[in-house]
Structure 1
Amino acid sequence: MSRPAIFLDRDGVINEDVGYAWRQADIRWVRNAPEAIAWLNRRGYLVVVVTNQSGIARGYYSERDFDVLTGWMHAALGQYGARIDAVYHCPHHPTAGQPPYNVVCNCRKPKPGLLVKAIGDLGIDPARSLMIGDKLTDMEAAAAAGVPGLLFPGGDLLEFVRDALDNG
């Protein structure tokens, strides 16, 4: 049986977009983001992060740096009773960066590869799921994967997800 998921972009949805965040010091939660994730967890949604990370391709930080930050984020969110079930990232950029990351790929949003992989890996029902992102590329990726999308304008993430799911 497939499960519903909430796909979240990272920078600009979970944490403030400061440009190429890769250290703990770079992370400032979007207002009530940890509480929003905990709220989604309590309602039985898988919470899946899908994020472009071209800073890896550009050499600003490494895959290991990304993994360390992701681990810290998991632990920090746990203090709020919040859990991210999976994180999928694209380290590529089609024109910038260094090999092997400077390639055209199917995982860099607006392409749907990250969502398609998560759907297959985790047994997610796309029609019962939702993508929340802060850019049109997030919405394009969601649509191409058959997942409804909502553009997050900023502000309070808990209020936004409550309104979207309780009234949607």
Structure 2
Amino acid sequence: MPLAEKLVILDRDGVINQDSDEYVKTLDEFLPYPQAIEAIARLSKAGWTVAVATNQSGIARGYYDEATLAAMHDRLNALVVQGGGEIAHIVHCPHGPGDGCDCRKPLPGLLKQLGVELEIENLAGSWMVGDSLRDLEAGESVGCRPVLVRTGKGERTLAKHPELADDGRTCLFDDLAAFVDWLLEKHP
């Protein structure tokens, strides 16, 4: 059973791959950052459990379907495996903002689902890496340590919420690779 202290939960769009205000709708539009794939592989090889929790309201909006999303995640998993690592589990919320679900971040449902899937009863002490306030809020609601990356919508989030830079809780990094460098140096 994985330990929460050795778990890193990643948002997808903007953290692992290029984000788009028009949504990532096709496999061709799914463009992972090479340094993010390598960072995930390094974490995994160092004994960390890596999982992904992603809002995918484009499904509810009719921009793409579950099969297209599965193809994107198959590609993501294949790239990470090619780099010598693995993603333990990927969960997604297919709902729109008005659907009344409990899984759309900033609500904690996706992270709780991950906990069940990974058999981690308490996620406190794990890391939540995102590029938006909703990612950080979802993580904090279950005790995760918040990490904001500047990629994707991260710079926009920081401009809107400058207090994140010095709130004493949120770790701030240029990208996922910079966070992983720091984490593996601090917590090998």
Please give the range of the TM-score, normalised by the shorter of the 2 chains.
0.7 to 0.9
Cα distance in 1 between the residues matched to 2:150 and 2:34? 12
Specify the alignment match of 2:8 in structure 1: 6
Decide which moves more: 35-44 or 50-59. 35-44
Q: In the alignment, residue 113 of structure 1 is paired with which amino acid?
A: G
Decide which moves more: 33-42 or 1-10. 1-10
Decide which moves more: 39-48 or 151-160. 151-160
| SS of residue in 2 equivalent to 1:126 | coil
* Consecutive unaligned residues in structure 2, runs of 5 or more: 152-173
Q: Counterparts in 2 of 1:1-150, with a 5 A limit?
A: 2-3=2-3, 4-18=6-20, 19-95=22-98, 103-124=99-120, 125-150=122-147
| SS of residue in 1 equivalent to 2:59 | helix
Q: Which runs of 4+ in 1 moved over 3 A?
A: none
| Counterparts in 2 of 1:160 and 1:74: CA distance versus 1, 3 Å | same
Contact 2:55 2:104 in 1 (8 A): yes
Contact 1:31 1:157 in 2 (8 A): no
Cα distance in 2 between the residues matched to 1:167 and 1:160? 10
CA-to-partner distance for each residue in 1:6-37, whole Å, 9 max, x for gaps?
Answer: 10000000001024213221122225101100
Larger RCO, structure (CA 8 Å, separation 6 or more)? 1
CA shift for structure 1 position 54: 0.5
Let me know the Cα RMSD of the aligned residues.
Answer: 1.8
Q: Normalised by the size of structure 1, how large is the TM-score?
A: 0.87
Cα distance in 1 between the residues matched to 2:23 and 2:181? 29
Aligned residues: 161
Decide which moves more: 52-61 or 29-38. 29-38
CA-to-partner distance for each residue in 1:53-96, whole Å, 9 max, x for gaps?
Answer: 0000000011121112211221122222231110000000133x
Specify the alignment match of 2:171 in structure 1: none
Q: Normalised by the size of structure 2, how large is the TM-score?
A: 0.78
Contact 1:47 1:84 in 2 (8 A): yes
* Consecutive unaligned residues in structure 1, runs of 5 or more: 96-102
Decide which moves more: 103-112 or 74-83. 74-83
